[in-house]
Structure 1
Amino acid sequence: MSQTFREAVRSNSVIVIAGAGISANATGGAGTATWRGLLMEGIERLEDLRGQRWANLQRQTLELAFDDNDMALLLSVAQSVSAAIRQLGDAAFATWLSETVGQLRVSNARVIQALESLPFPLLTTNYDTLLDGDRGTAVWTHPTDVQAALTGQTRRVVHLHGVWEEPDSVVLTAVDYDRLLQSDVAQSLQRAASSLHSLVYVGFGAGLDDPNFSELIKWHSSAFKPSSVPHFVLCRAEDERALAATHTRTHIIPVVYGDTYDDLPAFLEQMQPLDDSVVLSPAGIVQDLVGEAQSAFERRLVADSVIAESRQDVESIALADAVLPPVLLPVPYAEHLRARKSRPGDPSTERIDPSEVAHGHDVILIVGDENSGLSTTIDWIALEAARFLGGAVPLHISFRACQPSGHPLRDQLVHEARSRGFTRSNDSALPPYVLALDDFSASVPRVSERVIRDLVASEALCAVIGCAAGAEDEVIERLRTAGITASVGYIGRLSSRDVRTMADMSAVADPEKLTATVLGVIQAENLPRTPYTIALLITVLARSGVISPQTSQTSILDDYVGMLLGRGDPHEDARVGLDQNGREAVLAQLAQEFVQRRVGGLLEIEVLEHMQAAFDRMTWKERPTDVLRNLIKRGLLRWDGRHVSFARSSFLHLFAAKRAAMDAEFKATLLADPLFFASALAHYAALIRYDASLVMSLMPLLTDRQWEPGSGGVFEELPISEPEFRDEVMLEHDAALDLRSPSPETHEIENAFFDRTDDQDRPPFPITTDEQLSPVSTLFRTVDLVSKALRDSDQVEGHDLKRSALMTVLDHWGYLLSLMSSDPTFRDFVRQVIDESLTEKDRANLDTDDAVEEWSKIFAASGTAGGIAVTLASRRLSAPLEVAIDDGCSDWTEHRALAGAFFLYALQEDGWVGRMRVLLEGRGNLWVVARFLLYLCLGAFFDDRVANQDSDALLQLCLDLSQRGTNYKTKDERISHREQLRRKYLNDRLRARAERKDRQAPAIAN
């Protein structure tokens, strides 16, 4: 018996899996105890009915399958025999199992008895119940029974492939295996056992090649590199070398039990652990205290996950499906961002693999901002370290629970270990453990000094310490003085790829759309990019069932804030304390105070005085200090030691809007300076939705000023060119490329703007006055506000107001499009972007002025199209726009027509292509049409983002726009060129489809 195997048995974390070889030898021969014997008996039964030719073919195929170890052939025979028997009648299959497997009797009881007596969970792939004896039976189709057996609550033998007494549970054919592999609960239980326990395969030989075990072994080898939990297969000495070669790439180790099968019983008897080395459950099964501790620690992490709350299968999901691995950086996040801009690709500032951190350091200091997920991060790393080390228990200790006397850390460790059942008294030795020390603060000297002293004296295999950002230097110095050198990691912010990963965790139908919506809300409302925030937003959207980038961001923000406030908490009772509505009222009145003073924060004493006055008016008996502390804890307010402010400026604007809905005088205050309070007014429109007076009050912001759109720029008329024909060889080359899969790197979900900007909160109010703004900036702020108010006032009655307001807003989006590309300030911004994006060599080979000219147009067009999509486009406004177009738009300016085209493109309602054709009719070969809108339309065509009835119309529109700037000598030349363009566009769509299929393939495989 090898040392590794002995240690696994002594660690009390063994699960024994018995294969067909056990029953075959226990019954004194192969017979029907093995798969081959069972199928052979079935063939003999069917020979008279199906004919000798059929029977001989099945026998030959079966022998060939075993000779060549061909699972596919074996399953084909199983399918043929099973199907033929079932055709005899509903009871025929059950009768066959009963008269074969059900009649097995034990002739060699020593192996059976040795296995039965082992105090470990016992699993089998056999259909017979020879092993079950007094232990009882648990079948994979009854997951609760299997779970109880795996955790030692019962002694039942788990039948992984079914039992003869329940024919529907028997896994014999490929269809049966598919049923087993598609059972999430069955696979989750098998994976949990494989992850935390050393599996010992007995009586298998080549049996591990079956589809179920092949998939389990493949998963385990892929998930754990390396694995701290080895698995074993018992074998004869002559088979050891072949099995070792077979399992080179797995975590399975051959263990020799002897030279012949007769040596197996004695070997199994030696596996009995010493009585004083184990703790038995009431059912008599060895308790794996370490494995149970790690599993309980994982379940707590999963239970605390917001993502898990939105899943239907929360009880069975693994940690990787509920908690994102921590984002760790070697430097603070702000420094990381600066380095990415100044030194792109510098590995010294890139992410750290959290698993490597957990595996390679004795003391790890994790630094995190408020609400960054510090506690989850240190727990994740502690669990990873405990599993890597094998027999270690993860223990979470809060520094705040440590007392300023005695041995505070030691006392808390003893208390935690005893409460978890790892020790029986305060004097008992602690088990091997990994420490997760949360919220450590060196600014509490009496406690921190004693905790560090205990840490130095502790026997922790690894210590993971969490501290607040800004305090790390003092903590590092204090640890260094005590002789402890810590590896330091900083919690970073989530990237767009991380958001996509979390969207996948939520199990929604369209994770890409969910990701786009979440990114949009995070950027628009400037929310923190922490796992908690992202998870809350995903949960809000997943529960609502309405996931679209056009979804009202105010309603999403309101739901998000509602969750922070405790919306839906069944334990809250407004009769005995503040509930969500009460806290909301407090924040709304505080927001009003901030707005009226035009400040982003107040002294703590001023906030308390304001709250007390509000409570007096409402005759509440709440204590302001308790309420303030609660709102800070919930992440809605922030306290910096002196001042109190809203945790995010978007929270201030939202609660100001809620207050304006209740107080007409306060609403008038906002409207008196609408651009200054634009965010609050936009939220007000989205909350109320029926206030026509708001739209009428805001429209003069556009109509009272005369905006003078410039000439040229994006509305420049491009020169007419000669047609460019491509030869047939080139077209055939394009067609061949359509079927070639692109490299996987092209499919990464990434939003460069999101990933390269920080999540620092913006000032709550504009820092520049209207007089300091350029005309373009003023127009942008104005049209942005009016668009949001018009879009969200969808319950306002009256067609004329909406149509008139919409036409005016479209005009001004067109004016903005024209003015932006030629604005000097905007061009300076574009020049800066180009300079930062190019290397010195690239800049030397580039005509910067030409690049600024072209990219200013592109940025202006994309900014306008994006602005209309985000702030204006709504199905509620599509009706007045369609009516206006159908009434005739020959008198529309180019500015209104292009803005209207962007609106149609953003929504893509049925018939949008035909209406866009009307808007663009006779507009000439404008830059914005030929160089921008055409490519938007082509993108929609390539991505199949149009209804079937619009697809051909969109292709024809793209061809029309492509040919608008071309001069043809003859009609035939025009027709020929159009045909080549048509073929090219169809090929490009095929290419795009192949890319999408390639992108989806990994998801299907997983």
Structure 2
Amino acid sequence: MSAHLRSEIVDAIRSRNAVFIIGAGVSIMASGNNPTASWSGLISHGVNRCYDLNSTIDRKWVRDSVKALKDSSSMVRVAQDVEEHLKKVPGDQYRKWLAQSAGNLPMVNPGILEVLTSSKVPLLTTNYDDLLDRYSGRQATAWDRLPEIQAEMRDPGRHIVHLHGHWQRPETVIFGYKSYSEILGEQAFQAIIRAIASFKSIVFIGFGLGLTDTNFTSLTTWLTSVLRTTSVAPVMLVREKDYKDLFARCLPLGISVISYGKEYEDLEVYLDEIVKEARGPIVGGTGTVFGWDFVGPTLKRLHRRISRTFAPDLVVSTTGPGNFTPSHYLDNFSEDVPLLPAVRLPRRAVRSRQNISFQKIADANGWIQCESDEWDIYIPNLIQHFPADTRILLFNDEVTGENSQAVVADALRSLRYEVKRAALVVSASLAGEVDFYEKIVTGDFVFPW
């Protein structure tokens, strides 16, 4: 990973000079590897739809077409065949097929969409689907609406720019070689793309080994004339194992390459870290509501961030009744990591009868008692029977105002355990104490539980 190129991306986002161009990899991740999220998968789906609608088609054409998709240079030819076949069938079948394939992708893993949206930079995509539109709440616009593209470059946040069309407007979908030839001849659109490349920092996200796909090579056809004369070279984010190959392929195109991590899932974490650094970590404010759409993808990203450096043997939570966040967090583990909930009772000048009774039973059975600013916390004595150096992840919904998690962490460390602290959200004043977190908040906020 190039620290210098990474810092250039951070600076570009911070100065409102970055543009993200998003490829099929993002839709593949967000849709849970839905086959039609990839260009080859979409074309293969189209080949099968052609035969379903017209069984007089030679089966050899179906077999040869699917086989040809292994060669990226043949994809656009097969796509042209699919487009022509479907447009010949009565009943507006080309539009219906787009709606039932590219227009019907499920939103399974929206975390990457949340990160892209939070960047607040112009989002351009070669994808036909509407995953980004739906998640971000932005309107879809296509290559033929130049005023909307220009407006998005000036003041980002209203549109997702679909460079190769959108499924809801089949006339804009750049699919077969004829439509690619047409858009390559659109002088006004080419001028805008070249202007973007000349003055903006372009970051390619979700292309990877799809570099040779027509959806990518058409972009480089537009950009080649300016890439070698601009000081703002585009950057592509790729997997570590693909870095060497893609560096060699991208260098002649004038595109720099950065590795974001070993696995595809690392892209979301890498981007999130860049965006947080560029935008400043503080989010939230009076009345901020973190809904269910926030919790799922955020916990997945937090798990990915933790698993990079720490593999807990045990998760301990002092969150209180329900322990929803740490329990839900464990769904992201492939291993069976146990969760040990502590008992938390409010500290009052005059303790309640139930509190006094529980304290007596806990003391009699050797439970560990911790006193924080606001709570009496009791940890089951089972914790004392784990071997020294046990890796414990102390996990809470939030660490925002008092010292419960810090007090418990000190108690566990006194037992010679390796303890790391985690939370979904933290306050700015405590962020330096917590090892892993997702959001820094100011002001009031609520969770959906």
Over 3 Å counting, the alpha-carbon distance change for 1:52 and 1:22 in structure 2 is: farther
Counterpart CA distance in 1 for 2:158 and 2:113 is 15
Instruction: Check whether the contact 1:191–1:216 (CA below 8 A) recurs between aligned residues.
Output: no
> Which one of the candidate residues 258, 270, 275 is aligned to 2:273?
270
Q: CA deviation at 1:65?
A: 3.6
1:774-803 per-residue CA deviation (whole Å, 9 max, x = no partner) reads xxxxxxxxxxxxxxxxxxxxxxxxxxxxxx
- Aligned partners of 2:225, 2:144: CA distance in 1, in Å? 26
Contact 2:19 2:203 in 1 (8 A): yes
Query: Deviations 1:822-843 (Å, cap 9, x if unpaired)?
Result: xxxxxxxxxxxxxxxxxxxxxx
Shift of 1:240: 0.2
Q: Which runs of 5 or more structure 1 residues have no equivalent in the other structure?
A: 278-1006
Separation (CA, whole Å) in 1 of partners of 2:188 and 2:181: 14
Aligned partner letter, 1:254: V
Tell me the SS of whatever aligns to 1:247.
helix
Corresponding position of 2:92: 91
Q: Which residue of 2 aligns with 1:251?
A: 254
What is the rounded CA distance, in whole Å, between the counterparts of 2:215 and 2:79 in structure 1? Answer: 16
Q: Relative to structure 1, is the Cα distance of residues 78 and 69 closer, same or farther in structure 2, using a 3 angstrom cutoff? A: closer
SS of residue paired to 2:251: coil
- Match in the other structure for 1:101: 102
Q: Which amino acid aligns with 2:9?
A: A
Distance 2:186 2:272 in 1: 35
| Native 8 Å contact 2:34 2:105 kept in 1 | no
Assess, with a 3 A threshold, how the Cα gap between structure 1 residues 248 and 26 changes in structure 2: closer, same or farther: same
Distance 2:226 2:195 in 1: 12
Determine helix, strand or coil for the equivalent of 1:248: helix
Q: Summarize the Cα distance change of 1:230–1:43 in structure 2 as closer, same or farther, 3 Å threshold.
A: same
- Using CA pairs under 8 Å that are at least 6 residues apart, name the structure with larger relative contact order, 1 or 2: 2
1:211 is displaced (CA, Å) by 4.8
SS of the equivalent of 1:131 reads helix
Answer yes or no: is the 8 Å Cα contact 1:43–1:55 preserved in 2: no
Instruction: Verify: 1:235 aligned to 2:219, yes or no.
Output: no
Matched, 1:193 2:196: yes
Among 22, 29, 33, the alignment partner of 2:33 is 29
d(CA) in 2 for partners of 1:9 and 1:267?
12
How many residue pairs get aligned? The number is 274
- Flag the 1:52–1:59 CA change in 2: closer, same or farther, 3 A: farther
1:41-120 to 2 correspondences below 5 Å: 41-51=45-55, 54-66=58-70, 68-70=71-73, 73-89=74-90, 91-120=92-121
Q: Against the structure 1 CA distance between its residues 191 and 88, is the aligned structure 2 distance closer, same or farther, given a 3 Å change threshold?
A: same
Contact 1:177 1:212 in 2 (8 A): no
Name the residue aligned to 1:718: none
- The 1:124/1:249 distance shift into structure 2, 3 A limit, reads same
Question: Is the alpha carbon distance of 1:221 and 1:184 closer, same or farther for their aligned partners in structure 2, counting shifts above 3 Å?
Answer: closer
Identity %: 33
Q: Which amino acid aligns with 1:160?
A: L
- Residue 128 of structure 2 corresponds to 127
Structure 1 residue 178, shift from structure 2 partner: 1.3
CA displacement, residues 957-989 of structure 1 (integer Å, 9 cap, x when unaligned): xxxxxxxxxxxxxxxxxxxxxxxxxxxxxxxxx
The alignment partner of 1:165 has SS state of coil
1:170 partnered with 2:170: no
* Amino acid across the alignment from 2:50: L
Higher mean Cα deviation, 237-246 or 84-93? 84-93
The residue identity in structure 1 corresponding to 2:31 is: T
8 Å CA contact 1:148, 1:154 repeated in 2 = no
Q: Does the 8 A contact of 2:126 with 2:215 survive in 1?
A: no
Instruction: Kindly indicate whether the alpha-carbon contact (under 8 Å) linking 1:43 and 1:59 is maintained by their aligned counterparts in 2.
Output: no
1:215 to partner: Cα distance: 5.0
Return closer, same or farther for 1:42/1:228 CA change in 2, 3 Å cut-off: same
Distance 2:100 2:231 in 1: 44
Equivalent pair of 1:121/1:155 in contact (CA under 8 Å):
no
Q: For residues 126 and 153 of structure 1, what CA distance do their matches in structure 2 show?
A: 19
Matched, 1:180 2:183: yes
Counterpart amino acid of residue 25 in structure 1: M
C-alpha distance 228-54 of structure 1, shift in aligned 2 (>3 A): same
What does residue range 532-547 of structure 1 map to in structure 2 within 5 Å? none
Q: Secondary structure, in 3 states, of the residue corresponding to 2:114? A: helix
- Richer in helix (by share): 1
CA displacement at 1:95 relative to structure 2: 0.9
Would you say the 8 A contact 1:58–1:77 is kept in 2?
Answer: no
Contact 1:149 1:155 in 2 (8 A): yes
Distance 2:121 2:31 in 1: 23
The counterpart of 1:147, out of the listed 146, 150, 154, is 150
The 1:251/1:160 distance shift into structure 2, 3 A limit, reads same
Task: Tell me, in whole angstroms, the C-alpha distance in 1 between the residues paired with 2:156 and 2:260.
Answer: 30
Q: 1:152 to 1:118 in 2, by over 3 A?
A: same
- 1:785-934 correspondence runs (5 A): none
Q: How far apart, CA to CA, are the structure 2 residues paired with 1:267 and 1:155? A: 25
Q: Report how far residue 119 of structure 1 moved.
A: 1.6
Q: CA–CA distance in 2 between the matches of 1:8 and 1:48?
A: 47
- 1:16 partnered with 2:20: yes
Alpha carbons of 1:223 and 1:193: their partners in 2 closer, same or farther (altered >3 Å)? closer
Offset at 1:94? 1.0
- Answer 1 or 2: which has greater strand percent: 2
Distance across 2 between alignment mates of 1:148 and 1:260: 36
User: Does the C-alpha gap of structure 1 residues 83 and 219 become closer, same or farther in structure 2, counting only changes over 3 Å?
Assistant: closer
Question: Structure 2: how far apart are the matches of 1:115 and 1:55?
Answer: 42
Name the CA distance, whole Å, in 2 between partners of 1:80 and 1:203. 26
Alignment partner, residue 367 of structure 1:
none
Task: Please state if 1:214 is matched with 2:212.
Answer: no
Deviation readout 1:250-301 (Å, 9 max, x if unpaired): 2211111110011111111012144469xxxxxxxxxxxxxxxxxxxxxxxx
Q: Which amino acid aligns with 1:242?
A: D
Residue 49 (structure 1) shift: 4.4
1:137·1:158 contact (CA, 8 Å) conserved in 2? Answer: yes
Shift of 1:98: 1.2
**Which secondary structure does the structure 2 equivalent of 1:271 belong to?**
helix
**What is the CA–CA distance in structure 2 between the aligned matches of 1:113 and 1:52, rounded to whole Å?**
45
* C-alpha contact 2:26 2:112 (8 A) present in aligned 1: yes
Contact 2:47/2:66 (CA < 8 Å) preserved in 1? no
1:212 positional shift: 6.4
Alignment partners' CA distance in 2, 1:52 and 1:254:
47
Contact 1:238 1:259 in 2 (8 A): yes
2-side partners of 1:260 and 1:175: how far apart? 36
> Matched residues in 2 for 1:111 and 1:157: separation?
15
- Give the drift of 1:153: 4.9
- Please list, as runs of the form range in 1=range in 2, the aligned pairs for 1:301-380 lying within 5 A after superposition: none
Q: CA separation in 1, counterparts of 2:280 and 2:273?
A: 15
SS of 2:127's equivalent?
coil
Q: Give CA deviations for 1:110-150 in whole Å, capped at 9, x if unaligned.
A: 11111111121111111111011312222111111111112
Q: TM-score, normalised on structure 1? A: 0.26
CA distance in 2, matches of 1:27, 1:224: 32
SS of residue matched to 1:201: strand
Between the aligned partners of 1:15 and 1:224, the Cα distance in structure 2 is 15
Alpha-carbon distance, 1:213 to partner: 4.3
Aligned partners of 2:215 and 2:102: how far apart in 1? 21
Q: How does 1:473-552 map to 2 (within 5 A)?
A: none
CA drift of 1:195 comes to: 1.2
Is contact 1:62–1:74 with CA below 8 Å preserved after alignment? no
**How do residues 610-759 of structure 1 correspond to structure 2 at under 5 angstroms?**
none
Cα 1:25–1:154 change in 2 (3 A) is closer
